[in-house]
Structure 1
């Protein structure tokens, strides 16, 4: 079941909420106070009750009061904001670490035992550290129920950490506009008890069974779904950010190499090169730089499975 964001789902909820409520409360005090004062002045000093304007001289006491009080209030807001933010910048040494790869338009979660998922599985009541990298543009990983958010910047290693404290499924999504399908960059966090997580983490039978049952083409489709290929490419012939996969394999493709246009056959080598070095040859009519290399992200076996799936899209 999905848990509402107001639930105390992580160790950071109370600190962030406290800062929010303090700032909101101060804002409401000023809103109500200034509104009441404004209405009173409109009534008290209208033309009927105050026909002759009065020149009022400055007041040193008043100047000090409305300087000191706002400074104190700003420092109070800063303190609560800093107190909620500072613990987020230092993860415990015994944190369970997970690698997060952000790309247009997908988050992939990689575990130390080799598992890859598009849903973030974490154990309850244990510190979890997410080591995040972006392969293309700036993304921002946000888990509202945990009150944690961190920008993922290309070329920089970023991290966030938290202690999940509530079992359930929570929303995870990107909050930095990152292109055409930004709004579809939605994933989930599944928090389970430690013993259940350990069973899932160490159980490789499901993966082995899936590999044994799936045909290469079915495995290829699953891989492409997990790494977000269908966010940019269609299988029905329609154009999107990248060319359609429909009828691609074995057919001619007009590509731009440097300033020249040439025609090639979309065979195994062409597709493998398009996956590992996508910007060396650009299909005519499309722009360079939208797709990033999957070098080091996919094995030769996985690439071959992708090719087998592309052969089936006639």
Structure 2
């Protein structure tokens, strides 16, 4: 694995860095200049040199200078910031689109051909549009080397786009505190030459082969790992955010359904309902509103494999 720290990793780097460096330069200039003036005044107007205070009259010229100059500098800062930010809000029509699913606590990247990965694979020198979806709370997707960051808000259609200009591997992580394992939301962006990306994108044989040799239980475990189930549910009996999966299948649980307490057996139907409608039956001792529905994300076959895996957790 190699990581590039090129200053031109994406098309936004130059404009963002220009605004940042200008603001930094102005800040340092005034920090040094004001500190120097302050030290000069300390020596020039100390009590030994001027034992008797004298009245100093105001200066209209000085007032104009320190009003006009800062105003001009702030307007220049605004211009550079606006020039760097404005292009980020309009993605090209020919952008390659990828759906980003954020949840506690991982990112999943879904491609239009059905591929789903934990690493973001993108082609070099082609606009890429990331459609951002959150399944639970507010997250924030940040790729520092590309100078792009966008909040991922539940129920809101948001996106970010960029054109990766250098081949390599770059950091990607969440910058919005989203719970106990917020720091686990750490992934990579792999930028590939167009031909290599096309070959990778078109090659689904490895996925088919893996699915063919995996047992249903192994497939279920892989699915659950990909969608972040183990961040909230343990397999060793310990209590995290949701009920533990250990020994859950076939056992009775006490739940609240529409405010009424009842006892249910954890069977195939119960598991399917819990995945598609997690608010229907709240297990005693746990809070509602902590899990989002996976309706439309998981197929019946996916759930069948998940059930087979849960059966193995005696």
Same fold (TM over 0.5): yes
Q: Are 1:86 and 2:97 counterparts? A: no
Shift of 1:158: 0.5
* Structure 1: unaligned runs, 5 residues or longer: none
Q: Which residue of 2 aligns with 1:195?
A: 195
- How far apart in 1 are the matches of 2:22 and 2:135? 38
- How far apart in 2 are the matches of 1:100 and 1:264? 35
Q: After superposition, what is the alpha-carbon deviation per residue over 1:101-125, rounded to whole angstroms, capped at 9, x for unaligned?
A: 2122221111111111121111111
Q: For the structure 1 residues 6 and 195, does the alpha-carbon distance in structure 2 shift closer, same or farther, using more than 3 Å as the test? A: closer
The 3-state SS of whatever aligns with 1:15 is helix
Q: Which residue of 2 aligns with 1:236?
A: 236
Q: After superposition, what is the alpha-carbon deviation per residue over 1:24-55, rounded to whole angstroms, capped at 9, x for unaligned?
A: 00000010011111111111111111111111
Q: Which residue of 2 aligns with 1:9?
A: 9
Q: Which residue of 2 aligns with 1:216?
A: 216
- Is the 1:5–1:144 contact (alpha carbons within 8 Å) kept by the matching residues of 2? no
- How far apart in 1 are the matches of 2:122 and 2:73? 39
Q: After superposition, what is the alpha-carbon deviation per residue over 1:188-227, rounded to whole angstroms, capped at 9, x for unaligned?
A: 1111111111111111111110111000000001111111
User: Bigger CA drift: 211-220 or 255-264?
Assistant: 255-264
Q: Which residue of 1 aligns with 2:121?
A: 121
- How far apart in 1 are the matches of 2:293 and 2:163? 33
- How far apart in 1 are the matches of 2:209 and 2:46? 82
Q: Which residue of 1 aligns with 2:67?
A: 67
The 3-state SS of whatever aligns with 1:253 is strand
- How far apart in 2 are the matches of 1:312 and 1:175? 36
- How far apart in 2 are the matches of 1:246 and 1:168? 41
- Is the 2:4–2:169 contact (alpha carbons within 8 Å) kept by the matching residues of 1? no
Q: For the structure 1 residues 4 and 39, does the alpha-carbon distance in structure 2 shift closer, same or farther, using more than 3 Å as the test? A: farther
Q: Are 1:292 and 2:292 counterparts? A: yes
Q: Are 1:27 and 2:30 counterparts? A: no
- How far apart in 1 are the matches of 2:169 and 2:308? 34
- How far apart in 2 are the matches of 1:280 and 1:83? 49
Q: Which residue of 1 aligns with 2:52?
A: 52
Q: After superposition, what is the alpha-carbon deviation per residue over 1:130-178, rounded to whole angstroms, capped at 9, x for unaligned?
A: 1112122111110111110011111210111101111122111111111
Q: After superposition, what is the alpha-carbon deviation per residue over 1:265-306, rounded to whole angstroms, capped at 9, x for unaligned?
A: 111111111100001111111111110000000000001101
Shift of 1:4: 4.5
- Is the 2:97–2:130 contact (alpha carbons within 8 Å) kept by the matching residues of 1? yes
- How far apart in 2 are the matches of 1:231 and 1:188? 19
Shift of 1:260: 2.4
- How far apart in 2 are the matches of 1:6 and 1:49? 55
User: After the TM superposition, which parts of structure 1 deviate over 6 Å for at least 4 consecutive aligned residues?
Assistant: none
The 3-state SS of whatever aligns with 1:49 is coil
Shift of 1:5: 4.2
Q: Are 1:263 and 2:260 counterparts? A: no
* TM-score, normalised relative to structure 1: 0.97
The 3-state SS of whatever aligns with 1:52 is coil
- Is the 1:119–1:187 contact (alpha carbons within 8 Å) kept by the matching residues of 2? yes
The 3-state SS of whatever aligns with 2:311 is helix
Shift of 1:247: 0.9
The 3-state SS of whatever aligns with 1:159 is strand
The 3-state SS of whatever aligns with 2:83 is helix
- How far apart in 2 are the matches of 1:46 and 1:238? 68
Aligned residue runs from structure 1 range 74-153, under 5 A: 74-153=74-153
Give the total of aligned pairs.
Answer: 314
- How far apart in 2 are the matches of 1:7 and 1:225? 35
- Is the 2:217–2:306 contact (alpha carbons within 8 Å) kept by the matching residues of 1? yes
* TM-score, normalised relative to structure 2: 0.97
* Structure 2: unaligned runs, 5 residues or longer: none
Shift of 1:95: 0.7
Q: After superposition, what is the alpha-carbon deviation per residue over 1:28-86, rounded to whole angstroms, capped at 9, x for unaligned?
A: 00100111111111111111111111111111101100000000110111111111111
RMSD between aligned alpha carbons?
A: 1.1
